[in-house]
Amino acid sequence: MSDAITDITIIGGGPTGLFAAFYAGLRGTSCRIIDALPQLGGQLMALYPEKYIFDVGGLPKILAKDLANNMIEQGTQFGPEIVLENEVQQLVPEDGHIRLVTQRGEFLTKTVVITAGKGALNPRVLECPGWDEHYGAEGGVHTHVRQPEDFRGKRVLIVGGGDSAVDWVLGLRGIAREVTVIHRRDEFRAHKSSVQEMRAAAEKGEVAIRTPFEVKEIHGENSCVARVTLFNSETRDEDTMDVEAVIALLGFKPDLGPISNWGLELNRNTIKVSQLMETNIPGVYAAGDVVHYPGKLELIATGYGEAAIAVNNAVHHINPKARVAPGHSTNLKVFSQEEGE
Ligand SMILES: Cc1cc2nc3c(=O)[nH]c(=O)nc-3n(C[C@H](O)[C@H](O)[C@H](O)COP(=O)(O)OP(=O)(O)OC[C@H]3O[C@@H](n4cnc5c(N)ncnc54)[C@H](O)[C@@H]3O)c2cc1C
C-alpha cells in the first residue's frame, strides 16, 4: 500500500470509469482506476467485444472493443495509476480521506467515484470435480486468455459457445498444438462470421468442434490438468480427452458483491445518487450502470454525462475554490489549445 493520498479513485474501469479518469486528468487531479478484471473496458471488453454499437454520439457504428480501446486511450492520456485484477472490498471513510481495502492491499484517497456497473464481473466457472484443484495458471484451468503464448504447443480444450470462446478457438489456432472447443448446444451464439470461420477451420483440421458436449470431470497429474471426462448433453455418453489446458469462456455473472456492505443507500442492486452524482457518503460519488435516480437509463451515453458531473463535483469537494464547471475542452490549455484555435 502507498501512503500517498490520491485525489480521485475510480472503482471500475468500464466506459464510465474511463471517461471519469479523462475528466479527472483534465481537471489536473491525481487519479487511480481499480478494476477487478485483468483488462479495462468493462462490459464492452468482457461481454460483447465483437458486437457493433450504434448509439454513441458521433460514432454511427463501432465495434465494442474498438470503442473500449478508444476510451482507454482517451481515459489514460493523463497517466492515472491503473490497478487491475483487484476487487475493492471495503470503503472506509476516515478523518479527511477514505480508505479502500482491496484483495491486494489498501489505498487512500480523498474522493471516490464508483463506476462499478453491475458489480465485479466474475467469470462463470464449471461446477465439476477437479475445477477447484486445478484452477489458475499453475493447474492449467483458466477463465481468461491473458497471453496466447501461454498456450503455445499445448493441447487446449475451450469450453463455451459465445464470442470469447469462438474468438479464442481462432486466436489459438496455429499457436496451441491442438484446439478443441466443446459447447452444450450445436448452435454457437457468437458472431455469425466468426462461427463460419471456425467451422471452415474445423473442416481443414485446424481445430476440432464437439457438440453437444459438457465437461463432467477434470483430472490432473502432479497438480496439473491432464485429462477431462466429457459427456454428450443429449445421449449422456461419456468420453475422455487428454489435455494440457482447459479454458472455460462461459461469460460473467454480475454481482454488486462487497459494494452492498459499504453503507451506501441502495435501490436493489444500484446506488442512489443526487443530481450531483453524490451518494449518501460525503466524498463518494457514483456514475454509470451502478447508479439509480428517477429516469435513469443504463446506456454508455448516459454514463459519460454522469461521469463528467461526478468528477467535476469531486474536484469541487476536494477544493471548494475550484469551479465545478470544467470549461470547454476546445479552450483548455491542457490540450495545448488556446481559445479561438
Ligand atoms: C450484450 C450487451 C450489449 C450492449 N449494448 C449496448 C449498446 O448498444 N449501447 C449502449 O449504450 N449500451 C449497451 N450495453 C450496456 C453498456 O455496456 C453499459 O451501459 C456500460 O457498459 C456501463 O458502463 P459502466 O462503466 O457503468 O459499467 P461496466 O461496463 O459494467 O464496468 C464496470 C466495471 O467495474 C468493475 N467493478 C465492479 N465492482 C468492482 C469492485 N468492487 N472492485 C473493482 N472493480 C469493480 C467491473 O469489473 C467492470 O469492469 C450493452 C450491454 C450488454 C451486456
Residue written as grid cell 462499478: 116
β-pairing, 31-34 vs 208-210, is: unpaired
- Give CA separation, 101 vs 108, 184, 225, 311, in Å: 9, 39, 34, 21
Strand partners, 248: 159
- Per-residue model confidence (pLDDT) at position 253: 79
- State the average pLDDT over residues 138-154: 91
Q: Please give the Cα distance from 273 to 279 (Å, whole number).
A: 5
Q: Please give the Cα distance from 191 to 193 (Å, whole number).
A: 6
Three cell numbers written together for 268: 436493489
Could you check whether the bond before residue 212 is cis, i.e. omega within 30 degrees of 0? yes
Strand partners, 239: 230
Q: Please give the Cα distance from 111 to 76 (Å, whole number).
A: 19
- The pair phi, psi for residue 323, each rounded to 5°, is -70, 150
Q: Which of 116-120, 134-138, 298-302 has the highest mean pLDDT?
A: 298-302
| Cα 89 to middle of ligand 1, angstroms | 19
Residue written as grid cell 465494442: 64
Q: Please give the Cα distance from 111 to 10 (Å, whole number).
A: 9
The protein residue whose alpha carbon is closest to atom 14 in ligand 1 is: 299
pLDDT at 299 over 70: yes
| Cα 251 to middle of ligand 1, angstroms | 13
The protein residue whose alpha carbon is closest to atom 35 in ligand 1 is: 12
**Residue 259 alpha carbon, nearest atom of ligand 1:** 41
**Residue 102 alpha carbon, nearest atom of ligand 1:** 42
β-pairing, 213-221 vs 208-210, is: unpaired
Helix axes 192-203, 163-172, angle to 10 degrees: 40
| Cα 106 to middle of ligand 1, angstroms | 24
The protein residue whose alpha carbon is closest to atom 51 in ligand 1 is: 43
Written out in words, the top-level CATH class of the domain with range 125-250 is: alpha beta
Nearest to 211 by CA among 169, 243, 153: 169
Percent of the chain with pLDDT over 70: 98
Chain center to CA of 142: 16
pLDDT tens digits for 220-273?
Answer: 998 899 999 999 999 999 999 999 999 999 988 777 899 999 999 999 889 999
Q: Please give the Cα distance from 8 to 32 (Å, whole number).
A: 7
| Cα 72 to middle of ligand 1, angstroms | 14
- Please name the residues in contact with 252: beta carbons below 8 A apart, sequence gap of 6 or more: 46, 47, 121, 122, 123, 124
pLDDT tens digits for 323-339?
Answer: 999 989 988 888 875 54
Coil/strand/helix, residue 72: helix
Q: Where in the chain is the domain with CATH 3.50.50.60?
A: 5-121+253-335, 125-250
Q: Please give the Cα distance from 161 to 182 (Å, whole number).
A: 8
The protein residue whose alpha carbon is closest to atom 33 in ligand 1 is: 12
| Cα 68 to middle of ligand 1, angstroms | 11
| Cα 73 to middle of ligand 1, angstroms | 18
Which residues form the pocket of ligand 1, taking CB atoms under 6 Å from any ligand atom? 11-17, 34-37, 42-44, 47-48, 51, 53, 55, 87-88, 115-121, 257-259, 288-289, 298-301, 303
Determine whether domain 5-121+253-335 maps to CATH 1.20.120.10: no
**Residue 302 alpha carbon, nearest atom of ligand 1:** 11
The protein residue whose alpha carbon is closest to atom 3 in ligand 1 is: 48
The protein residue whose alpha carbon is closest to atom 19 in ligand 1 is: 299
| Cα 62 to middle of ligand 1, angstroms | 16
pLDDT at 282 over 80: yes
Nearest to 118 by CA among 16, 256, 10: 256
What rounded mean pLDDT belongs to the chain?
94
pLDDT at 146 over 90: no
| Residue 46 or residue 93, greater confidence | 93
| Cα 36 to middle of ligand 1, angstroms | 13
- Per-residue model confidence (pLDDT) at position 339: 47
**Residue 289 alpha carbon, nearest atom of ligand 1:** 26
| Cα 289 to middle of ligand 1, angstroms | 7
